[in-house]
Amino acid sequence: MLNTLFFYFLSAIAVGSAILMVTRRNIAHAAIFLVTALLATAGIFLQLQSEFLFIVQVFLYAGGIMVLFIFVIMLLNLEPAARLAKFNRSQVIAATLALVLGAQILYAVFVGRSSLRLPALQANISPQNTEAVGDALFHQFIVPFEIVSVLLLVSLIGAAVMAKRRA
């Protein structure tokens, strides 16, 4: 019962923050709403009994990526003229297209709803969640792990090179 309550509370925050994010004119406000959406998503992970992913989401997304976004937003002093509301038809078409896509996927979920029962929740969080994820990362997923480390190195070098001022 408490579980369901938490789920609805967190998903309300997540979806509400997401909608608020994409409709804000002020970029800094949008970034703040994205932080709350990400924290709510972290709560959803915790509610799904994946505690490692919960803390990685808080650490990496809310405490890392969003800090990066906020730094860039603060450093670029975007002029207020960019924040004027310009309503044009393409926005309505875009929104409609996205909603059609969403409706399609919703229909797919609806059709297959009989096979979507969750198993009964365990009494306590499996104490081995972190170990299990680490195990999977280093045994089945070792090759993607190494590739991701190279990917992060590449992105780091790329960002450092691009952000340097050419004298």
Partner 1 sequence: MQTYVLPAIYAVIVILALPLLAGCVLIAERQFRAYLQGRGNSEAVKPGLWEPITEVTKLLMAEDVRPSGTNPLVFWAAPVVSLLVVLLAFSVMPIGPAFHLADPNIGLFFVFGIGSLAVHGVVLGGWASNAQNSMTSALGAAAQLIVYGAVTILGVLSALLLSSSLSLKEIAQAQLERGQWFIFYVPVGFAAYFLGSLRITTLTSLDSASPGNESDMAFISAYRGFRRCLYLLAGYINVILVACIATTVFLGGWLRPLAGYRDRFPGTSVELLDVLPAMVMMGAGIYFFWRARRLTVNIRRTGGFLVAGLCVVAAALLLGVLFTSEGFMQGVHGAFWFVLKACAYIYFVFWFRFEFLPAHRDMLSRLEWRMLIPVALVNLITAAVAILTSQDTGWPMRLTTLLATAATLGVAWWLFKNPPDELAALKAGGE
Partner 2 sequence: MLSIAHYLILSLALFTVGVVGVLARRNLIIMLMSVELILNAVNINLVAFSRLHGSVDGQAFAIFVMADAAAEAVVGLSIILVFFRNRGTVRADEMDLLKW
Q: Between residue 34 and residue 93, which ones bind partner 1 under the rule CB under 8 A?
A: 35, 51-52, 54-56, 58-59, 62-64, 66-67, 70-71, 74-75
Q: What is the smallest separation between the CB atom of 108 and partner 2, expressed in angstroms?
A: 9
Is residue 162 involved in binding partner 2 (CB under 8 A)? Answer: yes
Q: How many CA atoms lie within 13 A of 41 on its CB side?
A: 17
Q: Cα(110)–Cα(115) distance, rounded to whole angstroms? A: 10
Is residue 143 involved in binding partner 2 (CB under 8 A)? Answer: no
Q: Cα(105)–Cα(42) distance, rounded to whole angstroms? A: 23
Tally of CB atoms within 10 A around 43: 20
Q: What is the smallest separation between the CB atom of 80 and partner 2, expressed in angstroms?
A: 13
Amino acid at 117: R
159 binds, among partner 2, partner 1, none (CB under 5 to 8 A by kind): partner 2
Q: What is the smallest separation between the CB atom of 167 and partner 2, expressed in angstroms?
A: 13
Residues 6+ away with beta carbon under 8 Å from 69: 31, 34
User: Which phi and psi (to 5°) does residue 166 adopt?
Assistant: -80, 120
Look at residue 140 and give its three-state secondary structure.
Answer: coil
In the set 9, 125, 146, 159, which binds partner 2 (CB under 8 A)? 159
In this structure, what token pair is assigned to residue 62?
């809310």
Q: What is the smallest separation between the CB atom of 77 and partner 1, expressed in angstroms?
A: 9
Binding track, positions 71-110, relative to partner 2; x by CB under 8 A = -xx-xx-x---x-------xx--xx-xxx-xx--xx--x-
Amino acid at 70: I
Question: Which residues contact partner 1 by CB under 8 A?
Answer: 28-29, 32, 35, 51-52, 54-56, 58-59, 62-64, 66-67, 70-71, 74-75, 125, 127, 129-130
